[in-house]
Amino acid sequence: MSGPFADHAADLAALAQKARLRTLRPRDGVDFASNDYLGLAGDARLKQAIVEAMERGVPTGSGGSRLLRGNHEEHEALEAAAAHFFGSESALFFANGYGGNSALVATLPHKGDVVIYDRLIHASLHEGLRLTRADRAVAEHNDVQSYADAITRWRKNGGTGRVWIAVETLYSMDGDQAPLDDLMMLTDEHDGVLLVDEAHATGVFGDRGRGLAAHLQGRENLISLHTCGKALGGEGALVCASQTVKEFLVNRARGFIFSTAPSPLMAVVVGEALRICVDDPELRHQLQTLISHAEKALAPLGFAPTGSQIVPIILGEDGRTMAAADALQKAGFDIRGIRPPTVPVGTARLRLSLTLNATCDDVDALAENLGRVLS
């Protein structure tokens, strides 16, 4: 191919040769791929909340950024409800988790500070790290001593600013939990700030689904991000922090200032989802039952439990992983292959996501088919 995009075409061809070419696929088959953990995305209660909001005149679009005419009373009502629900002094509603995470890291740490981040942290935080003026240092996954060593090295090399530690509370591709209490102790020891991405824990873990860091909420040196497009069934993200942090983001976070505000209807949806988390704890119990059932069903295949709704089926080779995903999709299961650079080289996997869109019988059928595919 010739022309202005010849190098782009060559790059795509190289990805295809490595079995790493991404394509958009329609949703089809039993859901083992989404992050709709509580099955709320299609819940009638969220639909009814939208209908009632439209009947009382809530607009579909915001019409601009929050600092122009885009700020709506539904945004502010959600932020007040979220602060109360999560136990923070304040909350700020972003259009999505990617924008919220990248804005936090790009905006809050100052030049002369350092951000110590987990090697497996979300791509959105890496985007913020690319933009930050602070120093950066990587820590080995869930290794508290590695964080401590990184801080020590930074101080020895002349670092004098504030320490920021960035983690996911539940890792999106491995399904394991961060050692939050130990990391909080390390943060306190260095007069730092702990940034926690609760994306995959919100709605699933903690009292009323408040997340894995719920017992730490209210601390001035804790900032948490809760995405609304996973277990909460909507879109957007809520940054929970002190009022000072909220005001600073409103004034300095370019990803907030220059973005069109989320639809006020989506603020209504998220607010209703938070009420469901309080009023319907049975959803979390059902999901935990499904998780336990899946652990038993997959044990004969040699896959270790993670204790969460995310179960990585690590196959290693990219081609083998995508062939397995294709075979399972043809058998009626929507499960996706995950390859580098999303995960480290040599750890390509099927990401089994357990949601209330599937049943225990569906899990048994998947395990049976998975055994045949991998044999």
Which DSSP category does 66 fall into? Answer: I
The structure tokens listed for 367 are: 């395990």
**230, 259, 272, 362: the active-site residue:** 230
Evaluate whether 204 touches 38 at the Cβ level (below 8 Å).
yes
Q: Judge whether 110 counts as a catalytic residue.
A: no
**72, 75, 190, 200: the active-site residue:** 200
The structure tokens listed for 307 are: 């204790």
3-state secondary structure of 167: strand
Q: Judge whether 247 counts as a catalytic residue.
A: no
**31, 35, 102, 353: the active-site residue:** 35
Backbone angles phi, psi at 163, to 5 degrees: -95, 130
**197, 198, 272, 362: the active-site residue:** 197
Q: Judge whether 197 counts as a catalytic residue.
A: yes
Question: Residue 234 carries which side chain, given as an amino acid letter?
Answer: G
Strands 348-353 and 336-338: antiparallel
Q: Judge whether 149 counts as a catalytic residue.
A: no
Evaluate whether 150 touches 137 at the Cβ level (below 8 Å).
yes
Q: Judge whether 172 counts as a catalytic residue.
A: yes
Angle at 336 between CA 331 and CA 340, to 5 degrees: 145
Which DSSP category does 178 fall into? Answer: P
**62, 88, 142, 172: the active-site residue:** 172
Evaluate whether 136 touches 115 at the Cβ level (below 8 Å).
yes
Q: Judge whether 375 counts as a catalytic residue.
A: no
Q: Judge whether 369 counts as a catalytic residue.
A: no
DSSP per-residue codes, 261-327: PPPHHHHHHHHHHHHHHHH-THHHHHHHHHHHHHHHHHGGGTPPP-SSSEEEEEEE-HHHHHHHHHH
Evaluate whether 131 touches 256 at the Cβ level (below 8 Å).
no
**168, 174, 198, 235: the active-site residue:** 168
**72, 122, 190, 246: the active-site residue:** 122
Residue 197: its H or E element? strand 193-197
- Tally DSSP H helices, then E strands, for the chain: 13, 12
Evaluate whether 242 touches 90 at the Cβ level (below 8 Å).
yes
What is the rounded distance in angstroms from the CA atom of residue 52 to the CA atom of residue 304?
A: 45
Which residues have a catalytic role annotated?
A: 35, 122, 168, 172, 197, 200, 230
